[in-house]
Every structure is written in C-alpha cells, then in structure tokens.
Amino acid sequence: FSAGVVTLAVADPFNDEVIEELRSVKRMEFQRVLASRSDILKILREFFGFRASVQAAENEVGNGVDLGNLEQFVRMKVGHEIEGTDRNIISAVEFLLQYAFDQRASDVHIEPKREKSLVRLRVDGVLHNVHALPKQLHAPMVSRIKMLSRMDLAEKRRPQDGRIKTTHQAKEIELRVSTLPVAFGEKVVIRIFDPDVLMQELDQIGFYPREYQLYSSFIRRPNGIILVTGPTGSGKTTTLYSSLRNLSSPEVNIVTVEDPIEMVMEEFNQVGVQAAIGVTFDNVMRNILRQDPDIIMIGEIRDRETAENAVQAALTGHLVLSTLHTNDAPSITRLLDLGVPPFLICSTVIGIIAQRLLRKICPACKRARHLSGDELEYLGVKTAGPVWFGEGCGECRGTGYKGRTGIFEVLDVNEGVKAAVSERLDLANLKAVARRDGMVSLRELAIRKMLEGITTYEEVIAVTG
C-alpha cells in the first residue's frame, strides 16, 4: 500500500471486472502485479487461519476494551475477561506456531506496545514483522503460552523460562519459552529447536573438502579438546549436535553438560546446569568423570574452573567438545586468558573451528550482476566473474534469501601452532603461523561462497566485516 494505491497480486492480469468491483467496494485504486496461482493460495492459507482466530477472539472481547485497564474492565458489558483457555486464543497460538514452523523461523517474538501487540519472526537470522494484534489479545495469548510451558500464570513481575513439546509434519519440535516484563506488559520469545536444523549430516552444513577432512579427523581422535567458536547465533550448537550424532553408536557413552539443554536427544546422556540448586558446570564435570564417558560435550567454557575440568577430562583419555565466545580460530589465546598454562593447551587441544552463517540466495529469483571496482577493492579481489543476488519473490517473502549455510575456519593445532602458543605469541602472529600452515580465513571462505553463487556480496560484508 503506497500513496493511496493498493498493490494487488493477481493470477490473471486481464480480469478487469474484478478490479472494477474492488474499486467500487473499497473506493481505492489498485495496481496489479502478476503472481502464480499457487503463490496466492499459499499466502491466503498461511494468513487466513491465524487472522480468523484473532478476529474471533477480538469479537468475543467486544467494544475494543483494553483488558489491562482495570477501570474499563469493571465497566465492561461482556461480563468476563477472555482467557488463555478460550478456544479462539488456543487456535490463534496454534496457528502462529505452525506458521513459524512453515517459515523456518528460529524465534517468535510477541511484544506488547502501547496500542497493539507486535508479532515478529526471526527467519535466516533476520527479524521480520508478521502481525500487529489488538492490544487486548496480548495478555490471553501470553497466558496460553505460559500455560503450555508450565509457567506460573500469576507471576507477571519476574522473568520466567519454560519448555513446550509439540509436533509438526510428524516430527517432534521442542520450544524454549522466555518471558520478560517490559513497559507495556510481558514480552515473550519462543526459541524453536527443529531437529532438521540442529541435527544434520556434517557434510551438509557448509564445510569445504579441506576443512571437512580436518574436522572429521579431529572428532575421530580418542582424546583431546575440540573447540567451536563464534558469536551467538552462528550455528555452534548445530555443529556440536551434528558432530555428536556422527559419533553416536552403541559402543560409546556420550555425556553433555548444557545451560540449558538445547534439545533433548535420546542418543546422549544430557545434564542441564541449574546453578540455583548447586548444579554447576564445575560440579557436574567432576561427577561426569565417574560415569565412564567416552565423549563429553560442554555447552560453553566460560570460566577458569570449566576450562580446567575440560583439560583434566582430556588428559584422562576423553574426547571433549565445547564452545568459546571468540571471533576466529586462532583465538586459542582465550584459554591463556582463562588461566590455562600453555603446556596444557598444547597437550590437550586438537583443533579449533570458527564459524559463521551466511544467508543463501533464493533459487527462485536468482539474478546475476557484476561487482563494481570499489566492491572488488573492498573485498581485496582483483577480478571476478558475475556474482548473484535475489530480487525477492513469494518463495523468499521478498527478501531474496532462503536458508543459510555455514563457513568454517579450521585451525589444526600442529607443532607450529603449539610452538607459537608456548612462546605466548600475540593473536596477529598466531594467525600468521596458522595461515602459513594452510588455514583459510572466514572472509576467504565467504568470498568463495559468493563466487559460487551461493550467497551475495552484501551478505559477505555483513557477516565477515
């Protein structure tokens, strides 16, 4: 909708009768754009169920009364407050979740505003506005979600956490729910753990052959520490879970320590950290070593005690996988900052991978272009053939992207790297040693994905700087 003109997607652009009828009824001007019948029906199916449930719930409240306003509530003529158990609210929440699953969303945000409630989805790492709901429906929808996740419905002043298990297309999906009191009510974020995303074959998540062979050799070692690094949302959990799935067999005992458990898997023995009752990484690690483990996964090495426990486990013959919040693979120096002596790092750490996620170009609207001289210079590339981008279509919701792939910078802790660590070389010199030994940087890997037509120039710059 722009400047009084409504954009109308039509399968038959020559049907003037429909346009004239709409002009007559709506008293608006319409601009026709061509779309396939299947795309139009898909959008109608996705939005109609949710919108119908919301409208029914809104009608039940009646009169546009804000149920958060006590005076209005007392004067209400309908006689009761709509609740989280109302059938229309139940349907609206169910439709919203199913829509999020269909869109491959990783998170659902339900945010109270002054005059409305805003629903947003994070798809391929980017938040998108989806619906603006009437303000009076926010509280009952939040109550329904809290009910499903076994939270305290009466507690609205403190943050709460919960979990929901549901199904979609015959597969079980786990949801982690978080509530937070903000200025206009309770904000809800639902993190979606889809097994198809978290548990993939290692050769399907974006590794190039050299990096894949190196990493595969790391996880086949009988003992040592493997570290996966990257910022929040870079896919570290997917890499760890996919690695454990690759290693899982009746002959090995895999134990994980997580805060919290991301997704419950029967193949592993998973322990959730609960600091409030004294179940910490430090305490759990001491007990795990008495559980005859072969492989241990630690959710994150965040302090000296956890680092020391990981080293101790590796020294006693166990394979340890964990994460560090550092930017690139040569940031092995972070372990030095945590107080681990260089000789122990050299004795236990096998390899480190740094990773990022790049959005993939939508195949349905993929188009070619050539990089400008400034763009080539910024990338440090002298020449390049055509690169690709997505124009935006119904398949990708107009974003030009659909799905994500990983890039993986792999550092083999060989004799050269060990010598650099022992000498406590700074990060720049450690990177130089790793590059001489063949390590390919994240920027170079991203450029390769761009030249292969997998991602865009803009995405390379956004992700690798």
**Could you report the per-residue pLDDT of 42-83, keeping only the tens digit for each?**
777 666 666 676 777 666 655 444 433 433 433 333 344 556
DSSP tag of 103: T
CATH of 45-192, one of 3.30.2000.10, 3.40.50.360, 3.90.550.10, 3.30.450.90: 3.30.450.90
The pLDDT assigned to 62 comes to 52
* Overall average pLDDT of the 286-297 stretch: 93
The pLDDT assigned to 65 comes to 44
Position 149 pLDDT exceeds 90: yes
110-124, 148-162, 259-273: range with lowest mean pLDDT = 259-273
- The residue to which tokens 């795309």 are assigned: 39
What is the SS3 assignment for 295-362? EEEECCCCCHHHHHHHHHHHHCCCEEEEEECCCCCCCCHHHHHCCCCHHHHHHHEEEEEEEEEEEEEC
Average pLDDT taken over every residue of the chain: 87
Domain ranges of the chain: 1-34, 45-192, 197-464
pTM: 0.81
Position 356 pLDDT exceeds 50: yes
Question: Which phi-psi region, left, alpha or beta, contains residue 90 (left: φ > 0; alpha: ψ -120 to 50)?
Answer: alpha
* 3-state DSSP percent of the chain in helix, strand and coil, to 5: 40, 30, 35
Q: Output the six-digit token pair for 257.
A: 């320590």
Position 436 pLDDT exceeds 50: yes
**For 197-464, CATH number?**
3.40.50.300
- Rounded percentage of the chain residues whose pLDDT exceeds 70: 91
Position 38 pLDDT exceeds 90: no
Position 364 pLDDT exceeds 50: yes
How many angstroms separate the CA atoms of 331 and 247, rounded? 26
How many angstroms separate the CA atoms of 247 and 220, rounded? 8
Element (H, E) at 369: strand 366-369
Task: Check residues 68 and 392 and name the one with the higher pLDDT.
Answer: 392
Phi, psi of 373, rounded to the nearest 5 degrees: -60, -40
Element (H, E) at 173: strand 171-182
Position 195 pLDDT exceeds 90: no
Question: What torsion, rounded to 10 degrees, do the Cα atoms 34, 393, 127, 186 define?
Answer: 40
pLDDT category, 224, cuts 50, 70, 90? very high
**Could you report the per-residue pLDDT of 237-250, keeping only the tens digit for each?**
999 999 999 999 99
Count of residues for the chain?
465
DSSP tag of 200: -
